[in-house]
Chains A and B, each alone.
Chain A
Amino acid sequence: MSDDFGAVSAQEEPLYGAPRLPEGGTGGVRAILRDNLFKDLKNSILTLLFGAVLAFIALRTLRYLFVTARWEIIYDGPLSFYMVGKDFGRTGISYEMLWAGIYVAMFTGGIAAGLGNRSAGPAMSLSARAAMIGGPLFGVVFILSMTRTITPTILTVGAVGFLLLGSQAARRVRGALKRRLGLIMLALVGLSFGFITGFDPSNIDLFGGLLLTLVVAFAGIGLSFPIGVVMALARRSSFPLIRPIAVGYIELIRGVPLISLLFMGQFAIGFMFPPGASIPGPIPRAIIMITLFSGAYVAEVVRGGLQSVPSGQIEAGKALGLSPLTITREIVLPQALRNSIPALIGQFISLLKDVSLLVIIGLQEMLGIIDVVLARREFTNQGYTPEAYAFVGAVYWTLCFSMSRAAQRLETRLGVGTR
């Protein structure tokens, strides 16, 4: 269920290393072609074989995208169902407010990216850069091509602008402002959350589609982070009574599938509240279970980070006469958390994909909203399923691919595993 995206890479070679480019091949196009495609007979046969297969797949895909597919299931779905769900209108949140929230979030993300930029990593090759930008760009263009007006496109471009703005701002701030940057980012995250939920978290009950997917994933990773840190510390602590609790929690959760936990959220935890207590709605209950689930995986990621801190650091702290608490807080955790950032992003990507399971318990995230659209009078029983799945798949792919690439870059930059 979780993919341990970067978890192994804490100890091993980065999984997302740039594809190995063959050495040489500096002698113009012909030389490149020869070295990469037609070096010898075996290579030439492979080239022709794979060339044929890839060309066939590319042709079929393009023909489907531009000729056979009936995209009215998306743009007349309507598109807003896939993006924000069918009940979003009932929340009373205006689209301006939603976009404001997105802009603030993008700005904050830009600041984080800008801070990372300071320690410049190895330069990226042109082809790697093209792949990193090209794929997601194609995805975004595909998604935007389903819109009816130009407004969403302009707004999306604006969002990218805010991302760049944030990273520029992060590079330029100095002095007191920079020292408080953590707090400022935190405030911005809060502000963004406030805008998106219309300053009333109970509105989440009416969310659907991509918005629900993202809110659940962000809430899940954010809320599970403290649980994960505490559990990782507990698991590595020298407390003989507490360690088994952490081990029990982590291994129990990791031993069962997420869907069984989600079933528990829907069917069982309602019975665990004291009689007369108010029971959270289905979406908050799902968030609770996703948080518990993710907590165990985050704990393992953080544990990997803790293991990567050299024991000399702790010994140095002891030599200075620092208390164990201070050593953990001031020496171990900052380094461990920094080292686990790429793996945490990997965990977040897993979580984002896992949110699709909410459809099984009847919630209308992106996969769930497909059923609503397919049941509509105009579309029912007309075989629109492939188009709907293709669209949702494209949205997921664009999100996950760009984030995994970002994690990969961060990994090289932070030099995890090489220090």
Chain B
Amino acid sequence: MKYFAGLAAAIASVVLTLATASAQHTVAAKFDVSKSITLTGTVTRVDWANPYAHILVKVPSAKSGAPVRWAVEIESPILLASNGWSQTTVKPGDVIKVEGPPARDGSKQISGKTVLLTNTNKVVFKGYNGTPVLKPAIPDSPTPLWPDGHPRLGPTPGQTGYWGNPSSTSMVQIGVTVPMDAYGLLKNIEDVDKVAPMQKWALDVYEMRQRTFLSSDPMFQGCKPPGGPRQYQQIYGVQFVEDLEHQRIFVLMGGGNRNERIMYLDGRKQVGQRNGDDDNPLYYGRAVARWESGTLVADIKGFNEKFWFDNGGLPHTEQLHLVERYTRTSMNTLKYEVTIEDPGAYTKRWTANWTLQWIPGEELPYFLCQDNRP
């Protein structure tokens, strides 16, 4: 990401300050952010994997016993690399001093708030868990079009790029603003009932998920896919591949498990994928779409209840029915608007919207949720 590199260059070149939301979940889901500990240890290994790279260190024991192995969780290799890190920025044998919150479950894990290399006395990493920094402006141009006049959702011929930098990383109904962190964790728990028109059970579940720091998130726990609007809340973005020869649009996802899903534009009925499969509810639902002048309107239903459709943990049921509107207002901006209709969880239909930014010249970052699991 070129402008991240530019941003990093503007600061001392060795200090990593993350310019936008970090990878998968709020630090508070795994670490007790009300505490802070400091460790000094020798690096034994750098585990360079998504969703988070880890530095394994041996920390001398307080009593004179065997040194204890700790894992320091930093950031995804994608973000680290875009900020000048490599697998060897910190090497086995280096002594580092780490400050940050410890794991809630008492295991020997710490989230790296700052990481300092003792032989240079320089801070090589500063993690964060807060509001994204403003992105530098990229020159804009009019919406690129296909010969038949409808907007291109992908690059112009010969180019590449993807949609990233979501302007919002969790859903709130239009007309409401509540302070949240970059993962949808509310700053004030009293704001729970403002977020969307939830039925009582849904509001209570949403509040519970918020109070437990979103740690019950199936994507965090088991790499379940980011179905529904959630795929457009991921910083690793999406690409749309328009398969004109077969009237389909593939959504390729940079976040989650690097899955693909399909929107069908051939006028077919929104039915099951195989004979007799009509009722099988899916993570990504069944999507049909059509162009309404410059807006792609997609209709999706047939969702299961095994995932979260929003980073902040708003609930849904199998009755979820989404209508999505994609409008590329210019080369650099995609407006995404979604209407949520779910009589199982919400008291009425509601709408949220945000924008995605075109990141030119780059492919989707290579991210696999399941990478960092055994």
A binds B: no
**Chain A positions near chain B (C-beta within 8 angstroms):** none
**Chain B positions near chain A (C-beta within 8 angstroms):** none
